[in-house]
């Protein structure tokens, strides 16, 4: 799940980055999937736990 630095505009580095990051707001438990990540991987959001089971979360599936 790594994105090469050149794909982020960094032409001087051979580093790789993960296209997933957490919100900087301490009051939130929010995670973000960046657009480069979502362009490279198939991402499915499943609302079943929230809608049908009354849970306070959703599920996310990720595949190449």
- 54 vs 48: CA distance, rounded Å: 9
- 45 vs 18: CA distance, rounded Å: 19
Q: What is the pLDDT of residue 55?
A: 94
Strand partners of residue 3 = 17
- The pTM for the full model equals 0.53
- 10 vs 29: CA distance, rounded Å: 29
Q: In 3-state terms, what secondary structure has residue 43?
A: strand
Q: What is the pLDDT of residue 49?
A: 94
| pLDDT-based confidence at residue 10 (cuts at 50, 70, 90) | confident
Range of the structural domain that residue 20 is part of: 2-63
3-state DSSP helix/strand/coil % of the chain, to nearest 5:
25, 35, 40
User: What would the pLDDT profile of 20-63 be if each residue is shown by its tens digit?
Assistant: 778 887 777 787 877 777 888 888 999 999 999 999 999 989 89
As for how many domains the chain has, the answer is 1
């Amino acid at each position: 799940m790594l994105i090469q630095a050149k794909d982020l505009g960094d032409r001087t580095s051979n580093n790789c980055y993960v296209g997933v990051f957490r919100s900087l707001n301490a009051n939130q438990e929010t995670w973000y999937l960046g657009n480069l990540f979502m362009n490279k991987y198939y991402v499915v959001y499943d609302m079943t736990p929230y809608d049908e089971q009354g849970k306070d979360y959703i599920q996310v599936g990720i595949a190449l």
